[in-house]
Structure 1
Amino acid sequence: MVLLRTDPPPEHPMPTRVILTAAGFLLAAGLAIAIALNNASPKPGTPPQSIQPAANPSPSPALATPPLHAAAPNVGPPVLAQQPAPTRRPPNADPTIVLKAMELVEQNQIVEALQKLDIALELLPESPSRHTAALLKHQLTGAFMKRQSPWHDRDVGNVVVLVDNELDFVHAVEAWTDDLFWPVLIDDGYLAPLFIQSFQPKHVVRWSSPPTDQPPTVRDELTRVRQPHNNKTAQRTGEATPPGIVVIDPDAHLRCAGLALALGRGQPAMFLTGVQNIAKRVNEHDVSAINVPILTNMTKLRLLLKDQWCGITLAGQFPYQLEPEAIVQARREGRSKKGLVLAVDDTLGRIQDGTRLAVVGRLLGPSHQAVYQAMASLFLQPSTVLMFDSYSFKSGNIWQQYAFYNAHQAFEPRYDVTLLAKGALHATEFSRFTQPQLRHDMVWMNSAGGNRKFWIHGKQHGATEDIPIGRAAAFYVVHSFSAEKPWEVWTIAGRALAGGAYWYYGSSDEPQLTGFARPAGVAQKALAGTPLAFAARHLPLHQRGRPWKLAVIGDPLFTLRRAPAPRVEAIPLHDTIPITNDFLATAIAEGQADLRTILKDIAILRASPNNKITLAMAAATANSILGEPDKMRADDVIRAVWLLHQAHRSERLATAPYHMTSRHKLAEQLVAAHRRSDFEKQIDNGNLDTARAILSNMLYAIMDTNQLVTDLRRWLAAMSRANRADEALGWLRRRQDAKPSSFAAGALKTVLQ
């Protein structure tokens, strides 16, 4: 344990009977309350000093909005049956006892909190307070783990299986049994080695489906595997009821990862078509079109249990942000300039009165990245935690409630925790623990800023490129806008996910500080065995218990184990090809492996615990690839750069893969960055035409205006010394007229001024 703090901070239960209604999933009052809270919320630093019960005002006419439901469905999601109010309260049944229990949790006084919850459950009538008490007790005692037995109680194969495509992936996970499963990844050259590095398997193998004359489609195979699996999950009832549902768009690239989470956690899967553009904001009616079929299916499958949340995993292109129709209309008509953007994922899984039944998480990225997120959630567990606590600098009780001091105390007995706080938190120290690669399995971070920057201390700020990468990790981030556009690599969440994060909790908009649950309670509930996404959500009594702005990228059922899963050696998967040092050496000696195959295997072996591949061999192979980039695929170039980063510990190479989304453009960029040393050599040797050819490629690919200005001026000066200045200027102007990238355009304009 590394402690870098200089001083501590100052001292309604769900009825079993549910009915269906056509009214939709959230009354106008529920959304109106969210709107009112958004308009009236104090800025961070001024919220109340203790947990406050949720307000329940009647919506004013100005704030009233249409119900969040589809226009005319014949059936709707479940709605809590209304309970008559008791005529009098039993003796000592004070609803504030639940609030006191919630406060005790934040102080790490779990025994005392459970005692108060027992009293509340014994004396309180059916009410939101009693429902909150039951939920909190379940979360503090890890009761949900019984529903996770298909995941928690299964043995894990001590092997990682690599496949090349989605079809092989479906067939490989289909071989999982009720007693045994193992990681299967689509080999992408970066995330797969990161997983292997953390999982440390005894064996790594490649596998492909037996060849057929007419291979089936991935959609057909998903359908074939899903039905018998759903039939099996339907037989589990009571405390063994499946922990949630996976919503799969069968035509989206997230589908295979969704299937893996359904099979891996013993939860049913349903098909639902997504949208083309998840970045486009939608209204409440669009969200209801997603929510109604999900909750209707969950009701039919009997997944909704009394006083427990369950999970909804989105494995498809579903909208990410919601803007209520009333807000849009008011702005359009000039009646208001205020906006309200909610996270779609926090509005799903709720019923008519706004009560949450389920917690939502979504998979994100191309197929190999989504599969990585699923496999890491199923098979990886943190052992080290980095806590970045910028709130430890701030005065005022509210900031100290969100500092990580109590969460650190909760985590310390189980994990190796590094706490960066107070005098130990500054840019240099943060960089020491996070660059060039992250060295922790879980990152907790609180800060202020936007989707591209975060505050460290004083006038010190970090930018997107300072977010740590290069290790499989889970991120819990208390920070405004960090998850605003998680599919964009220039955002905080986007870089973290591209760089190895498999689970990320953050805000899609400005949530206000109280939009987040307080960290000590999150830690205590997660340590008890409650899924981390559940632990991070507000309970019903809290004023932010209504639909709000926070989102989970990854598996909503990701859970911290008390002990590692048992591992076994053999798996029932035949005709695998081992990736070993000896096998690779033999293949090379006998001429049975081309350069591409050698590179793929070296990348995997370098991440494996039994690695014997030297850095020199890795670097030599990588340089061979980069020497002939036109003959290689984008993935090969990415593997090569990853190996060079390992060989040279180059921070520049480490961060290079996260500036572009297109893997082909990324490969071109990496080649250009790699060739820059050759560019300098050619100028020094007087080979100015060769240097110009390299510079032409760099203008297209490098995303660093300042570096391009330096390189252009150096080449121009060398051309001037060779009495070729006019030729050089003419070439530069032609490049400027060719509509280059914004980075190159800025550099050319600066040089030609």
Structure 2
Amino acid sequence: MKKQLKFKLLAIALISILATIGIGCDRLFTKPFQLPASAKQEPWPIQTGLRAAILRSNIPTVNRVVLVPDEATFLAAIQKWNLKGNWPILIEDKKYTPMFLQRFQPEEIVRLPSIKQQLPKNQKLQQLMLNASAAAWNATDTQTLKAQWTQLGWEPPGVVITSENDPALSAAVALAAAHGQPLVFLEGNFGKPNDTLNNTQWKSLQLAVTKAVESTGYFYSQLADPIDTITIVRQLAVKYQSPEKPEEQLAVTDGLGRHPNGERWAAVGWIYGSEVRSIYQAMCAIFLDSETAMLYDSYPKEGNWGKYEMEAAASGLKTIGLNVEVVQKPESSLEKWRSLASKPWTFDLILMNSKGYPKSFQVGNGDASVEDIPKLLFPAAIHMIHSWSAAAPDDKNTVAGRWLENGAYAYIGSVNEPFLSAFIPPKLMVDRLKRGSPFLIAARQLESPPWKVATIGDPLMSIAKPRPRIPPTQQPM
């Protein structure tokens, strides 16, 4: 009896100590990467954002940037990531690397020499990629990775789909590793980024993507089950022909992740392009925090246009710590825009409403051209309420193409004339961001049938308060 009493007193003392230092009993007796039961009452976009936040809080960011000369060295370097800390790794170039370094401001920059090896091909390359993504979780391969996730209580929030023959393959490894997602492969020709898929090609892509997700073995068919996002990291077409109106084009990233009846089961993001740019976009999404925002409102205050005003959104962003600049009528004008665009921008987040075409956009009392898009000093995530801006995102002489060329790492815009209601009003979008919804998901009409808004970037990237970093001395390479 005395032993039982002594044990009870020790247990009470332990619980008291844990409470004093801020560790609740639920953390003591649950798996560290498990979504709390209370969070499962939240809408699925919030659950998805919370799962990404769990990783940010459990795996420290090391205050260093590693620069490598080539892709083989990148895949070797990323295998140093582990559960004690991750850090940005870039293939060094003269354009995107300086932008990232300017924004991240690392305590330490490490330049690695080339390992002077050719990447293997086919199955051996796939195995190298899978093992590299597993290493971040202190695992050695796909089998031990799944066991590690089970032990930690981790359920993947999405799937990363790439091709062993695509230049963006290393970005796929990084996104799978950083967000704890299965990495799967999709080979075949599904068009180039500016293309439009016909109905046969579209059905082929839909089936192939669904089969790729199914191959992971995780539940995916309902929202709020483990797999709620798809990140496609490879070349494919941005548009497909509408089955009902062949003269109209719909966004591939809105049409994927749906059942045959159009019901959504996942939200989709897309990264494509060169090794350098795709890795840059992935590293920005994984490691950069948001501190500044530009909200540019070119719409009148009357009628439906008034629903897309920016003041309420600005107030919401300020509550999560962002410094916000708002430009609205009567201040917004072509003269004002060109004045603002005359120097490089340092905004992390850019929300803009406009009207126009693939190569022009209204900024108040006149149309700006692609040449009026500002240079970016810092990487930026951009939401553009505007017709046609993403009709040809791989063409730098179009609106989306120029923003991406200038260093945007996430972009939301339309591939066709979408009508104003295709876009979420800025206030509602910011309300979702404040609750933790990832950026690309917060911008979507989530219950509408497939439509025309494309989402380029990592679908798990959030607009969140800056996270703490640990010094490089605490996590040697």
TM-score, with normalisation over the residues of structure 1?
0.53
Amino acid at match of 1:234: K
8 Å CA contact 1:222, 1:250 repeated in 2: yes
Give the one of 205, 214, 222 matched to 1:290. 205
C-alpha distance 234-283 of structure 1, shift in aligned 2 (>3 A): farther
Q: Tell me if 1:200 matches 2:105.
A: yes
TM-aligned CA deviation for residue 216 of structure 1:
4.1
Give the one of 485, 499, 509 matched to 2:392. 485
Taking the aligned partners of 1:352 and 1:325, their CA distance within structure 2 comes to: 12
Residue by residue over 1:220-241, the C-alpha shift from the partner in whole angstroms, topping out at 9 and shown as x without a partner, is: 3442240545435534369731
TM-aligned CA deviation for residue 517 of structure 1:
1.7
Taking the aligned partners of 2:360 and 2:188, their CA distance within structure 1 comes to: 31
TM-aligned CA deviation for residue 568 of structure 1:
2.7
Taking the aligned partners of 1:571 and 1:373, their CA distance within structure 2 comes to: 27
8 Å CA contact 1:389, 1:447 repeated in 2: yes
What is the match of residue 368 of structure 2? 462
Residue by residue over 1:557-604, the C-alpha shift from the partner in whole angstroms, topping out at 9 and shown as x without a partner, is: 111223414333137665xxxxxxxxxxxxxxxxxxxxxxxxxxxxxx
The secondary structure found in structure 2 opposite 1:177 is coil
Residue by residue over 1:105-150, the C-alpha shift from the partner in whole angstroms, topping out at 9 and shown as x without a partner, is: xxxxxxxxxxxxxxxxxxxxxxxxxxxxx99942685564125533
What is the match of residue 360 of structure 1? 268
Q: Tell me if 1:161 matches 2:66.
A: yes
Give the one of 384, 387, 409 matched to 2:295. 387
C-alpha distance 272-427 of structure 1, shift in aligned 2 (>3 A): same
TM-aligned CA deviation for residue 217 of structure 1:
2.3
What is the match of residue 84 of structure 2? 179
What is the match of residue 128 of structure 2? 224
Residue by residue over 1:190-236, the C-alpha shift from the partner in whole angstroms, topping out at 9 and shown as x without a partner, is: 10000000000011121135456xx4426634422405454355343
8 Å CA contact 2:251, 2:451 repeated in 1: yes
- Identity, % of aligned pairs? 29
Amino acid at match of 2:207: V
Give the one of 163, 169, 174 matched to 1:249. 163
The secondary structure found in structure 2 opposite 1:475 is strand
C-alpha distance 307-344 of structure 1, shift in aligned 2 (>3 A): closer
Taking the aligned partners of 1:365 and 1:400, their CA distance within structure 2 comes to: 37
C-alpha distance 428-455 of structure 1, shift in aligned 2 (>3 A): same
What is the match of residue 351 of structure 1? 259
Q: Tell me if 1:446 matches 2:364.
A: no
Taking the aligned partners of 1:188 and 1:317, their CA distance within structure 2 comes to: 22
8 Å CA contact 2:52, 2:460 repeated in 1: no
Amino acid at match of 1:315: V
C-alpha distance 449-152 of structure 1, shift in aligned 2 (>3 A): farther
Pairing of 1:135-146 with structure 2 (within 5 A):
137-138=42-43, 144-146=49-51
TM-aligned CA deviation for residue 284 of structure 1:
3.4
Taking the aligned partners of 1:531 and 1:249, their CA distance within structure 2 comes to: 25
8 Å CA contact 1:141, 1:528 repeated in 2: yes
Taking the aligned partners of 2:418 and 2:42, their CA distance within structure 1 comes to: 27
Q: Tell me if 1:273 matches 2:273.
A: no
TM-score, with normalisation over the residues of structure 2?
0.82
Give the one of 461, 465, 472 matched to 1:558. 461
Amino acid at match of 2:130: R
Q: Tell me if 1:529 matches 2:443.
A: no
- Give every structure 1 segment of 4 or more consecutive aligned residues whose post-TM-superposition deviation is greater than 6 Å: none
What is the match of residue 495 of structure 1? 402
8 Å CA contact 1:166, 1:218 repeated in 2: no
Residue by residue over 1:499-533, the C-alpha shift from the partner in whole angstroms, topping out at 9 and shown as x without a partner, is: 11111111111111011122211111112211111
C-alpha distance 286-453 of structure 1, shift in aligned 2 (>3 A): same
The secondary structure found in structure 1 opposite 2:330 is helix
Q: Tell me if 1:408 matches 2:408.
A: no
Bigger helix fraction? 1
8 Å CA contact 1:151, 1:266 repeated in 2: no
Q: Tell me if 1:417 matches 2:321.
A: no
| Higher Cα radius of gyration | 1
Give the one of 230, 233, 250 matched to 1:312. 230
Give the one of 458, 473, 476 matched to 1:570. 473
Residue by residue over 1:245-290, the C-alpha shift from the partner in whole angstroms, topping out at 9 and shown as x without a partner, is: 1111110111111111111111011011142534332133322322
The secondary structure found in structure 2 opposite 1:422 is coil
8 Å CA contact 2:297, 2:327 repeated in 1: yes
C-alpha distance 516-231 of structure 1, shift in aligned 2 (>3 A): farther
Amino acid at match of 2:364: H
Bigger strand fraction? 2
Amino acid at match of 1:555: D
RMSD in angstroms over aligned alpha carbons? 2.5
8 Å CA contact 1:281, 1:320 repeated in 2: yes
Amino acid at match of 1:371: I
Structure 1: runs of 5 or more not aligned:
1-133, 329-338, 575-753
Pairing of 1:707-718 with structure 2 (within 5 A):
none
Structure 2: runs of 5 or more not aligned:
1-38, 132-139
8 Å CA contact 1:170, 1:221 repeated in 2: no
8 Å CA contact 2:222, 2:265 repeated in 1: no
What is the match of residue 370 of structure 1? 278
Give the one of 408, 416, 421 matched to 1:514. 421
Number of residues paired by the alignment? 422
Taking the aligned partners of 1:386 and 1:323, their CA distance within structure 2 comes to: 34
Taking the aligned partners of 1:140 and 1:243, their CA distance within structure 2 comes to: 10
C-alpha distance 481-230 of structure 1, shift in aligned 2 (>3 A): farther
Amino acid at match of 2:209: I
TM-aligned CA deviation for residue 407 of structure 1:
1.2
What is the match of residue 6 of structure 1? none
Amino acid at match of 1:223: Q
C-alpha distance 427-278 of structure 1, shift in aligned 2 (>3 A): closer
| Range that drifts further, 184-193 or 236-245 | 236-245
Residue by residue over 1:367-391, the C-alpha shift from the partner in whole angstroms, topping out at 9 and shown as x without a partner, is: 1011100000001111010000011
Taking the aligned partners of 1:438 and 1:446, their CA distance within structure 2 comes to: 18
What is the match of residue 625 of structure 1? none
The secondary structure found in structure 2 opposite 1:556 is coil
Taking the aligned partners of 2:127 and 2:331, their CA distance within structure 1 comes to: 54
Amino acid at match of 2:436: G
The secondary structure found in structure 2 opposite 1:374 is helix
8 Å CA contact 1:473, 1:500 repeated in 2: yes
What is the match of residue 429 of structure 1? 336
TM-aligned CA deviation for residue 349 of structure 1:
0.5
Amino acid at match of 2:217: L
Taking the aligned partners of 1:571 and 1:274, their CA distance within structure 2 comes to: 44
Taking the aligned partners of 1:210 and 1:256, their CA distance within structure 2 comes to: 16
| Range that drifts further, 280-289 or 435-444 | 280-289
Taking the aligned partners of 1:430 and 1:311, their CA distance within structure 2 comes to: 36
